[in-house]
């Protein structure tokens, strides 16, 4: 019995010496994990290195790169225009009215040339004629009375006051007669200046009124264009600025300079008026003819010009573009360059780099596809 107890105790001691604890297992697993991580990183670096070498040297492998188009930075002159619509306005264009009466005769037709004072429409005015007859009779009586009184005064007969009264009455009658004759003349319609009859608005027998025009005469030898410009350009548009004028309906145009810049801002539409003289000899001019006017308000002989779509803006409102640095055929690295917008006109934008010398004329920049590019990204250039 005693020997049996000894054997059992020895067996227990031997078992205790050869057993492992949970703490030992945890340590071995952690060490094994770190060893595998080290091996994984080494394999990943090796795989990446081999893929990079193959991408650069194996022609059968095509990398999935962002595709962009490129365009060069233009270095040279840049001009900005303000585009507005204008209307032709003749310096001499008159709507002719009558004091009232019935149309007796129309002496001209639309399109006829007339000279100043030429009769255009004769108007019957019976009342005016009767008034003139009465005035003529009164004038003749006053004239006769004055002549008699004048002879008596020369003979020292009668008083000086009688002579002066007779003279005054004769002069008043003469003035009244002339006034009525002028009113009758104004009843008829005559040409106020040399020009062309643009329209006859009445027919023989019609009654005319002072409120309704009867004819229109225009002279297109001197004409100008008028246009309304938004008040935001008041400080940049000056008299004498070069302008380009085109007439869409005539398919022609001309170059000129700004003749006048208005100082009054229309409160209804917040615009001011500008005028351009039409060169003499321009054919096809008509009052109210629509025109397109481009007014130069900015010009630089040395500017950096890029397409407007090539310049992007970040969340802070800063403008930037991507300059391409070639790495191999049809591939390049995009470099982000911050710029300032100077002036934009019809898809072309004048810019200045925030850092001097960051871009220059001839540099190729990302044109289309810039939204898919980040700084330092390798891209494929489609063009």
pLDDT tens-digit series, residues 65-93: 889 999 999 999 999 999 999 999 888 88
Q: Are residues 327 and 276 in the same domain?
A: no
* Residue 23 within a domain: no
pLDDT (tens digit, 9 = 90+) per residue, 265-323? 999 999 999 999 988 867 677 888 999 999 999 999 999 999 999 999 999 999 999 99
Domain endpoint, select from 189, 208, 227: 208
* Residue 10 within a domain: no
pLDDT of residue 363: 94
- Rounded Cα distance between 239 and 259, Å, is 6
Domain endpoint, select from 186, 208, 230: 208
Domain endpoint, select from 144, 174, 208: 208
Q: Are residues 263 and 238 in the same domain?
A: yes
Inform me whether the pLDDT recorded for 187 exceeds 90: no
Q: Which domain holds residue 102?
A: 98-208
Q: Are residues 295 and 319 in the same domain?
A: no
Q: Are residues 150 and 201 in the same domain?
A: yes
- The band of 170, judged by pLDDT with boundaries at 50, 70 and 90, is confident
What would the mean pLDDT of 238-243 be, rounded to a whole number? 94
- Rounded Cα distance between 189 and 213, Å, is 10
Tokens matching residue 94: 């008159």
* Residue 244 within a domain: yes
Q: Are residues 193 and 230 in the same domain?
A: no
pLDDT of residue 362: 93
* Residue 21 within a domain: no
Inform me whether the pLDDT recorded for 5 exceeds 50: no
Give the number of residues written for the chain. 383
Q: What is the pTM of this model?
A: 0.62
- The band of 63, judged by pLDDT with boundaries at 50, 70 and 90, is low
* Residue 6 within a domain: no
Collect contacts of 177-180 with beta carbons under 8 A, ≥24 apart. 177/132, 177/135, 177/136, 177/138, 177/139, 180/128, 180/131, 180/132, 180/135
* Residue 292 within a domain: yes
Q: Are residues 124 and 188 in the same domain?
A: yes
Specify the CATH number for the domain of residue 242: 2.40.30.170
* Residue 183 within a domain: yes
Inform me whether the pLDDT recorded for 230 exceeds 50: yes
- The band of 8, judged by pLDDT with boundaries at 50, 70 and 90, is low
pLDDT of residue 6: 46
- The band of 182, judged by pLDDT with boundaries at 50, 70 and 90, is confident
Q: What is the CA radius of gyration of the chain?
A: 49
Q: Are residues 256 and 278 in the same domain?
A: yes
Inform me whether the pLDDT recorded for 19 exceeds 70: no
> What's the domain count of the chain?
4
């Amino acid at each position: 019995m005693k020997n049996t107890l000894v054997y059992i105790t020895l067996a227990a001691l031997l078992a205790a010496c050869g057993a492992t604890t949970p703490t030992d297992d945890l340590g071995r697993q952690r060490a094994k994990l770190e060893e595998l991580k080290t091996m994984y990183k080494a394999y990943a670096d090796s795989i990446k290195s081999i893929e990079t070498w193959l991408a650069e040297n194996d022609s059968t492998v095509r990398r999935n790169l962002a595709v962009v188009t490129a365009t060069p930075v233009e270095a040279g002159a840049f001009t900005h225009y303000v585009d507005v619509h204008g209307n032709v306005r003749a310096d001499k264009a008159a709507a002719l009215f009558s004091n009232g009466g019935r149309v007796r005769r129309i002496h001209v037709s639309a399109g006829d040339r007339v000279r100043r004072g030429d009769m255009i429409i004769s108007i019957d005015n019976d009342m005016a004629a009767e008034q003139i007859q009465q005035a003529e009779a009164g004038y003749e009586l006053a004239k006769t009375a004055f002549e008699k009184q004048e002879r008596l005064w020369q003979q020292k007969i009668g008083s000086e006051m009688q002579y002066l009264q007779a003279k005054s009455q004769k002069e008043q009658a003469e003035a009244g007669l002339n006034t009525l004759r002028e009113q009758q003349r104004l009843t008829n319609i005559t040409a106020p200046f040399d020009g062309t009859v643009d329209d006859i608005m009445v027919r023989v027998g019609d009654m005319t009124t002072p409120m309704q025009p009867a004819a229109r005469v225009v002279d297109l030898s001197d004409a100008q264009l008028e246009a309304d410009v938004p008040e935001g350009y008041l400080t940049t548009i000056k008299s004498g600025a070069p302008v380009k004028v085109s007439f869409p309906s005539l398919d022609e145009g001309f170059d000129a300079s700004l003749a006048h810049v208005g100082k009054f801002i229309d409160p209804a539409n917040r615009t001011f008026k500008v005028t351009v003289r039409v060169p003499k000899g321009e054919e096809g001019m008509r009052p109210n003819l629509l025109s397109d006017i481009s007014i130069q308000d900015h010009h630089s002989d040395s500017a950096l010009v890029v397409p407007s779509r090539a310049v992007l803006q970040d969340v802070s409102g800063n403008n930037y573009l991507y300059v391409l640095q070639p790495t191999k055929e049809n591939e390049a690295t995009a470099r982000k360059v911050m710029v300032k917008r100077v002036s934009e006109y019809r898809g072309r934008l004048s810019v200045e780099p925030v850092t001097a010398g960051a871009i220059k004329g001839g540099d190729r920049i990302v044109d289309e596809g810039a939204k898919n590019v980040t700084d330092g990204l390798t891209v494929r250039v489609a063009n």
